[in-house]
């Protein structure tokens, strides 16, 4: 945003004479008519300035329009109407910089993959392994499958598995080791 002089301190109001009226109007800031004429005369050059800083036409047009809006809203603080174009140029540059900063920040945020996110190839490979594991699990004996599911997928201890299935701790260990051996053979076999 351009640096704009602060508003002068409030003075007692008095009615100006006709001759003083033009001086008072100039001291009050840039008029809407002057800003409109500046807009008409310099829109394309300001658009070209924005185009040097930004890459797409829509963003350039947005920046130039926003610059005119901002200078229009602060026109009473632009003491010298001859500097209106300079204020507009500086505002276009500042708004273009801001737009570029937002884009760069957006690209930085978007370019980082999610930390736990697998690529599509990894996801497909994992899905194939899961399908192969499920198929191998279905090929196990019922007790072996129950022990492995409770032990490794439900994350139970061997004692909890024994209590849940109503079998001894030794049986849980035996079914578990035979089940893992059978899974290893099934997973290594060509599909």
pLDDT at 176: 93
Residue 88's Cα: distance from chain center in Å? Answer: 29
| Cα 77 from Cα 71, distance rounded (Å) | 9
pLDDT at 13: 40
pLDDT at 19: 40
pLDDT at 111: 62
**pLDDT tens digits for the chain (191 residues)?**
443 333 344 444 443 443 444 444 444 567 888 888 888 899 999 998 888 888 888 889 999 999 999 988 887 887 787 888 888 899 999 999 999 888 888 777 776 666 666 667 777 778 888 888 888 888 899 999 999 989 988 888 999 999 989 999 999 999 999 999 998 998 887 75
Residue 75, CA distances (Å) to 21, 91, 95, 116 in order: 18, 13, 18, 52
Tokens 């699990």 belong to 137
pLDDT at 2: 44
pLDDT at 127: 83
CB within 8 A of 16, min separation 6: which ones?
23, 24
pLDDT at 114: 62
pLDDT at 29: 61
pLDDT at 1: 41
pLDDT at 53: 85
| Cα 71 from Cα 35, distance rounded (Å) | 8
């Amino acid at each position: 945003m351009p640096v704009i002089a602060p508003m002068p301190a409030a003075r007692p109001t008095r009615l100006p004479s006709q001759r003083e009226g033009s001086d008072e109007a100039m001291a009050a800031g840039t008029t809407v008519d002057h800003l409109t004429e500046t807009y008409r005369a310099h829109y394309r050059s300001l658009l070209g300035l924005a185009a040097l800083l930004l890459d797409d036409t829509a963003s350039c047009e947005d920046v130039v329009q926003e610059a005119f809006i901002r200078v229009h809203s602060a026109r009473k603080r632009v003491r010298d109407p001859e500097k209106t174009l300079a204020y507009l140029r500086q505002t276009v540059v500042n708004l273009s910089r801001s737009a570029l900063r937002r884009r760069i920040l957006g690209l930085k945020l978007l370019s980082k993959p999610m930390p736990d996110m697998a690529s599509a190839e990894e996801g497909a490979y994992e899905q194939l392994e899961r399908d192969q594991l499920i198929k191998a699990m279905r090929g196990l004996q019922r007790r072996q499958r129950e022990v492995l599911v409770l032990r490794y997928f439900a994350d139970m201890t061997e004692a909890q598995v024994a209590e849940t299935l109503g079998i001894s701790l030794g049986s849980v260990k035996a079914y578990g080791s035979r089940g893992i051996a059978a899974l290893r053979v099934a997973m290594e076999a060509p599909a």
